[in-house]
Amino acid sequence: MKRIASWLPTEVNAFVRSMTWVTLVVQILIVVTGGAVRLTASGLGCPDWPTCDGSSVVVTPEMGIHGVIEFANRLLTFLLVLVAIVAFASVVRMRKQRRDLFWLSIGIGLGIPAQAVIGGVSVWVKLNPYVVGLHFVVSIALVVLSTIFVLRARPTEPPALIGLAPVFRVAAVVVATLQFVTIVMGILTTGSGPHAGDAQAPRNGLNSELLQHLHSYPAYAALIVTIAFIVLTQIGHLRLVRNAAIGLIVVNVAQAVVGIAQSRLGLPPLLVGTHMLLACVVAASTTVVVYRLRKP
């Protein structure tokens, strides 16, 4: 064990930074594959948990393609666990001088079994839209933590801004709040729509048309506030913050275009899946903006 431990990094190097990026990528990947399960109506392809059908741990031929898709998504959890273990090992020897990276790796690692349990509960309750929605919220939280993991491991991390006017941080918090509300309303909208994950899965019974509007309003508000925020950062000569906000605007515009298109075209699965992917990128981009304005 001592020999193995001697190979582990004692400072943030290229390997540690690469593991933070791999962590972020796999956390987004599991959202995309989970979306594929739902959009192909394979959510109950394995109708039980933790076994696949109550007797077999693995998928059986009788379960067909839906069982294969659902089981493949379950298997991806083991990839997340492996990445989490390697990421933790890469920072464990620097736990005293880099407690931030150490605790972030633990938080992300603990989130994976929590997600697995929520996913299992969603199967037990036959894809109740509120439990499935919680599953997505926790995924977004893990994407946020993984983004901070990446930022904290950067080789030339700029210092926290000191003596900054409160208006900048207030504006960033408003942007983040609007983005979060947009995601929550999107979850409720999806829970009322046709992509239930299974033909027999319950819906939340809410008005889909009304929810589409309630989902879009905070999204457009976030877009407007972010544009105003960019103007503020340009005036304040906050180049790094401004660039992060510009990146967020680009993603928001792409998300808005996909959202409008999927609504007008009757929610085709490919566009809905793209919308879910972009939601993760929006969460990550928003995290960068807020992080750039952190206090010392």
State residue 226's pLDDT score. 95
Q: CA 36 → CA 68, 136, 277, 296, distances in Å? A: 12, 13, 11, 41
Per mean pLDDT, which range of 62-71, 80-89, 222-231, 275-284 is the poorest?
62-71
Average pLDDT of 226-252? 93
Query: What's the pLDDT score for residue 165?
Result: 76
pLDDT at 104: 97
267-285 mean pLDDT? 94
Is the separation of the CB atoms in 202 and 196 below 8 Å? yes
**pLDDT higher for 240 or 249?**
249
Name the nearest CA neighbour of 219 among 246, 247, 248, 198: 248
Tokens found for residue 191: 């829970």
Q: pLDDT at position 57, please?
A: 85
Position 155 pLDDT exceeds 90: no
pLDDT of residue 4: 65
Residue-level pLDDT at 64: 87
* Confidence (pLDDT) at 27: 97
191-207: average pLDDT: 85
pLDDT of residue 5: 67
* pLDDT (0 to 100) of residue 26: 97
Contact (CB, 8 A) for 285 and 222: no
Confidence of residue 53 (pLDDT cuts 50, 70, 90): confident
Would you state the pLDDT for residue 204? 87
Nearest-angstrom CA–CA distance, 46 and 52: 5
Q: What is the pLDDT of residue 2?
A: 61
Q: What is the mean pLDDT of residues 29-33?
A: 94
| Nearest residue to 20 via CA among 182, 152, 209 | 152
Please give the pLDDT value at position 203: 87
**Which of the four pLDDT bands, split at 50, 70 and 90, describes residue 237?**
confident
Closest among 82, 81, 119, 140 to 276, alpha carbons compared: 140
Is 90 exceeded by the pLDDT of residue 228?
yes
Its pTM stands at 0.93
Asked if residue 196 lies in contact with residue 127, where contact means CB atoms within 8 angstroms, the answer is: yes
Whether a cis peptide bond, with omega within 30° of 0, leads into 50 is: yes
- Using CA atoms, how far apart are residues 285 and 251, in angstroms rounded to an integer? 8
pLDDT (0 to 100) of residue 195? 82
Percent of the chain whose pLDDT exceeds 70: 95
pLDDT category at 145 given cuts 50, 70, 90 is very high
Annotate 12-27 with three-state secondary structure: CCHHHHHHHHHHHHHH
Report residue 173 as tokens. 């918090």
Confidence check: pLDDT of 1 > 60:
no
Burial class for 123, CB neighbours closer than 10 Å (0-12, 13-18, 19+)? buried
